[in-house]
Amino acid sequence: MNGRPPGRFDRRRPEAGLRINHRIRVPEIRVILEEEQLGIMPTHEALRLAEEKGLDLVEISPRAFPPVCRIMDYGKYKYEEAKKKQQARKRASTVETKEIKFRPKTEEHDMAFKVKHVRRFLEGGNKVRLAVVFRGREITHPKTGMNVLNRVVELCADIATVEATPNMEGRRMIMVIAPKPGVVRKAQEAKKAQAAQAQAAQAVKKDQPGKQAPSANEIDDDDDDLDEDQINADVDDSDEDDDAAAPATDDATP
């Protein structure tokens, strides 16, 4: 026996949520007021003390013996706890891994287009898998694929770090990059500033009807919501072996 009374005072069966004020039915509790330990006292005395201060008596550790209660503003406590949970959910949000595909000889225009979206995904808190897809005899020149990956890393060096170095997987050369700490926060601040700039531009437009003031969101953002399939439309994995099946022409007879 541990001296704990049976039945309704069995603290091994706590109810869901926190008990407050007159719902605390144990005869005595350990009381905390702000950061001061008031020690063990009868529950009715702790209730009277809480009422005198215009606060609540909240059971914060029901499994202790005796249970621990804190005199506090319960409404404020619930608000702060809800805020903490919301922040925790944001921090614990699932990190996705996006994939962007390249060719060994990706042209500069296509490179700029794809890097723009690589950066967008990184600023959204996602990791990005960079895949260089080789076709036919391209596989005999892996250095060209390495050059493409190095170029992407160079263009994203300010916001990304290499998480997985280049590795061959069949006819694909794979590298994974991840956002640096603080990247998401800075991107959100930049978006807020951009939104404020857009609002200011709209205000100018209203004040001067004859003057067309473009908003920040009207500049080069038509493809900001493209998904991976749309971005990778120019690289089809299904045709990666087309050249391999073609017959050699060096020894062809007339």
- What's the token pair of residue 123? 């600023």
Residue 207 lies inside a defined structural domain of this protein:
no
Measured in whole angstroms, how far is the alpha carbon of residue 122 from the centre of its chain?
Answer: 10
Residue 226 lies inside a defined structural domain of this protein:
yes
- Structure confidence by residue, pLDDT tens digits, 209-238: 555 544 444 444 556 678 888 898 888 766
Q: 29 and 135 share a domain?
A: no
Average pLDDT, the chain: 80
Q: 227 and 103 share a domain?
A: yes
Q: Which residues contact 202 (CB under 8 A, 6 or more apart)?
A: 213, 215
Left, alpha or beta for 3 (phi > 0: left; psi -120 to 50: alpha)?
A: left
Alpha carbons 175 and 99: distance in angstroms, whole number: 10
Model pTM greater than 0.85?
Answer: no
CATH of the domain at 45: 3.10.20.80
CATH of the domain at 105: 3.30.110.10
- Structure confidence by residue, pLDDT tens digits, 65-81: 899 999 999 888 888 88
Domain assignment of residue 19, given as a range: 11-74
Split into its structural domains, the chain has a count of 2
Give the pLDDT band of residue 87 (cuts 50, 70, 90).
Answer: confident
